[in-house]
């Protein structure tokens, strides 16, 4: 249990069984009245925002959250199977939970899976992933400086813009936060 005095940005609590993270708060107290904390929480599942005015001394439920290191195994198109790197336990995540992350899931990619009450609610990708190019226009040799780009399709199904010298079969380093090409790793 948390008290209102524990509230700070980033605090993770539970309302009606749904985990929320605090994104803003303010202590308020009208001159002669009791104190309150105005809060704004964001759902860690759906992203919806919840504004709540809490009376001082009210208690909040701590969200039961757990981070687990898992590696991606395979997908059947609707669900994605991961394996716990420590105890080899396998779990399946639906496309809804993965949202946009699924397009960077290369085989054996290590990710952090966030569990709430034992149920996976989101995954956290590494900042950089390395994925093979499966389809693009043939590479233009020596062209490393013009800054021109072309689309390339990756083995995970994602399409990104890459420099002209990139060829099919290249392994690329990609920034998952910006979805940008970073460098060519090796051929």
Q: How far is the CB of 34 from another protein (least distance, A)?
A: 5
CA distances from 77 to 19, 80, 94, 95, 102 (A): 27, 7, 9, 8, 10
Closest CA to 52 of 29, 33, 36, 32: 36
Q: How far is the CB of 8 from another protein (least distance, A)?
A: 12
Using CB under 8 A as the binding rule, whether residue 95 contacts another protein is answered as: no
Size, binding site for another protein by CB under 8 A: 15
| Nearest-angstrom CA–CA distance, 89 and 98 | 19
Give the residue with the Cβ less far from another protein, 35 or 179: 35
Using CB under 8 A as the binding rule, whether residue 35 contacts another protein is answered as: yes
Which position among 3, 26, 69, 134 is part of the footprint of another protein (CB under 8 A)?
26
| Nearest-angstrom CA–CA distance, 129 and 16 | 36
Give the residue with the Cβ less far from another protein, 29 or 95: 29
| Nearest-angstrom CA–CA distance, 6 and 106 | 40
Instruction: Look at residue 56 and give its three-state secondary structure.
Output: coil
| Nearest-angstrom CA–CA distance, 152 and 168 | 8
Residues 46-75 as x/- pattern, contact with another protein by CB under 8 A: -------x-xx-------------------
Using CB under 8 A as the binding rule, whether residue 34 contacts another protein is answered as: yes
Using CB under 8 A as the binding rule, whether residue 29 contacts another protein is answered as: yes
| Nearest-angstrom CA–CA distance, 68 and 112 | 6
Using CB under 8 A as the binding rule, whether residue 30 contacts another protein is answered as: yes
Residues within the interface to another protein (CB under 8 A): 26-36, 38, 53, 55-56
């Amino acid at each position: 249990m948390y008290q209102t005095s524990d509230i700070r940005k980033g605090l993770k609590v539970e309302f009606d069984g749904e985990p929320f993270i605090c994104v803003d708060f303010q202590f308020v107290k009208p001159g002669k009245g009791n104190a309150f904390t105005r809060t704004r929480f964001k759902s860690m599942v759906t992203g919806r925002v919840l504004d709540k005015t809490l009376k001082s001394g009210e208690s909040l439920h701590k969200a039961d959250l757990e981070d687990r290191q898992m590696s991606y195994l395979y997908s059947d198109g609707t669900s994605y199977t991961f394996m716990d790197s420590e105890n080899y336990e396998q779990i399946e995540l639906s496309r809804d939970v993965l949202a946009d992350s699924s397009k960077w899931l290369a085989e054996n990619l290590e990710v952090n899976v966030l569990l709430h009450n034992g149920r996976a609610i989101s995954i956290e990708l590494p900042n950089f992933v390395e994925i093979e190019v499966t389809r693009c226009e043939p590479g233009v040799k020596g062209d490393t400086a013009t800054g021109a780009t072309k689309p390339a399709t990756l083995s995970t199904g994602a399409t990104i813009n890459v420099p002209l010298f990139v060829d099919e079969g290249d392994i690329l380093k990609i920034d998952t936060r910006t979805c940008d090409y970073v460098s060519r790793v090796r051929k």
